[in-house]
Chains A and B, each alone.
Chain A
């Protein structure tokens, strides 16, 4: 089955008041694909989304929905192809959730907007899909943020669009609602073959959800690419200008700023046993060193992000004498040794040896970061 391009931009330049902010955006999206826009605050994600949905006039270039220019579509017809979930707060007076969702049938209803039996069936079906049929009769003004977002999504889905555009749909949602919302989007894309375009701040979720990622960076947008190519530590660090703290792609975790100063604690961990210690030392802002870790160890990346010094060696190898020497030197320069590692670790020979040297030198040895200040 040949893929069909349902959404396309050609050399699109977006901006305000005739001034281009981002130039030459080229996107091609097939039916059922999900494209996420990521990038720092103020990079222009919303500007792009507003332009491709017709809220802003493009500075140059074209946006094509179903092969036809956005401006060339008759309004009512376009509303059957393209639906949006916006960031703006919606505060209608005395409207039930059902009524809000049913507004999505606007392009399908007649002169007075009366719902036919078919329209009602679509609305109820959609409310069940977003698991909000139980709040259908509640006043839209008196529900939680999570419920509100489901209803607004239901409203957009009631338009039965081929392209769905959402601007930061997960803001203000708790983790449960985030997962649920993204799951509905995934179902919409895969089962209904709707192309989904959204901006996300949670890059870990963007990586897991998207077929394509568009990195937006203030003055330009990169070529949309597959997540595995976009998500490298260096690329993300550069995109968001992370100079302190870091994002570890392999773990999908955000690490806070590493404690500054001379390392005061040497952590002996391995196979994930040191993770808690690293985090706790980071919270207490105690600078530390760590070693000796295999470079494929699950905690190696975190240690790199948080420790002043990490002594590592190649995976599944016994450390070389130079590495051992360096480890001893680093350890002795710290006042305290924290033994986090389980004695049954694969490289415990080296660890035991290190602990032994610490004892010989009369270093303070602790088993958890809890006692340190």
Chain B
């Protein structure tokens, strides 16, 4: 009986997330310095491309790509966070918190500053590759140290330290770089969904959706892994392969985000946690699609605030996500502490 209730709840939450997704999407397209009637929006969006009109350009060249980027990247960050939390068996893990985003930023930064000296423009796949390389490298570093620590707080400290090292190395390179390149880098490293180009967005969307699908295929072993590595192995999970898959997928997902929009804070920790609370379970087959949707809603919402709160000037997206995300991290820490002293 309660089983059926759980299923009903899941259905309800998905419906709710779907409605919220559509609502915030429409609201987002509609909000800005130029307001457009919903009917007009629908016509322009459905026409499948800009008709060359002013409104068409506003929607197709500015608002739509930005919105899609926020939705897809928010989802990617959340799923990446969920995979990392599974891997480290620690609800506080996330690409930003563990310094993985900073690692990606470091690699992209070095490339922007140095490669641009020799070639006029960096192809997007190279930015992607650099971001992925940085993500993987930092993840492996964190792994190296995390091996020795069990506590949530220690992992957090390690992540922050590695993140700081990456940031200071990035700063070091920036100090000795060309003015023009630095401006470019600075804008990117603040994190923003603006100025996303369609071709790049298309590539990212395809990669993210593939990674999302693969993550979903992992939901059975992830489910077993909740009981710990040894139990998972005893039930037939190929733990080594599984861990490699987790790390690779989470790195690809967070690299996509960093390559396109720069590091974005706290989404990866906050959204999976909120998703679990919504569904009332940690079952991965629900949490993976659930946090993707909620991550999209969350980032679109935050981007809306970033765009409109102090219009016409814009906030960096991380400024907004941190305001909503960081309290969740603190709540998690306190909740954990209380549970430990209870038990």
Contact = CB atoms under 8 A, between A and B. Distances in A.
Q: Do A and B bind each other?
A: yes
Interface of A: 53-55, 75-76, 78-79, 82-84, 86, 88, 90, 92-96, 99-100, 103-104, 106-107, 109, 111-113, 137, 141, 155, 159
Given A106-B220, A111-B217, A137-B2, A95 B282 contact: yes
Given A83-B234, A84-B231, A137-B2, A94 B280 contact: yes
A79 B235 contact: yes
B300 to A, nearest CB: 26
Interface of B: 2, 91, 217, 219-220, 223-224, 226-228, 230-231, 233-238, 276, 280-283, 285, 339, 343
Given A94-B276, A112-B220, A55 B238 contact: no
Contacts of A82: 234
26 contacts: A53-B234, A55-B233, A55-B234, A75-B237, A78-B236, A79-B234, A84-B230, A86-B230, A90-B227, A90-B228, A92-B226, A92-B227, A93-B91, A93-B226, A93-B276, A94-B276, A94-B281, A94-B282, A95-B282, A106-B220, A106-B235, A109-B220, A111-B217, A112-B285, A113-B285, A141-B339
B220 A95 contact: no
B230 A88 contact: yes
A93 B222 CA distance: 12
B226 to A, nearest CB: 4
Which of A78, A88, A106, A141 gathers the greatest number of chain B CB atoms within 10 Å?
Answer: A106
Given A78-B236, A90-B231, 10 more contacts: A53-B234, A79-B236, A84-B234, A93-B276, A95-B282, A96-B281, A99-B283, A107-B235, A137-B2, A159-B235
Given A103-B235, A113-B285, A159-B235, A95 B230 contact: no
B228 A104 contact: no
Contact of A111 (B220, B235, B339): B220
Given A94-B280, A95-B282, A107 B236 contact: yes
The 6 closest A-B pairs by CB, nearest first: A79-B236, A113-B220, A106-B235, A92-B226, A94-B282, A75-B236
A372 B276 CA distance: 64
Nearest to B287: A94
Contacts of B223: 103, 113
B10 to A, nearest CB: 13
B339 to A, nearest CB: 7
A86 B231 contact: yes
A95 B281 contact: yes
B219 A95 contact: no
A168 B281 CA distance: 30
A25 B140 CA distance: 39
B9 to A, nearest CB: 13
Contacts of A79: 234-236
Given A93-B276, A107-B236, A112-B220, A55 B230 contact: yes
Nearest to B339: A141
A174 B236 CA distance: 32
A75 B223 CA distance: 17
A95 B223 CA distance: 10
A104 B232 CA distance: 10
A53 to B, nearest CB: 7
Which of A54, A78, A83, A103 gathers the greatest number of chain B CB atoms within 10 Å?
Answer: A103
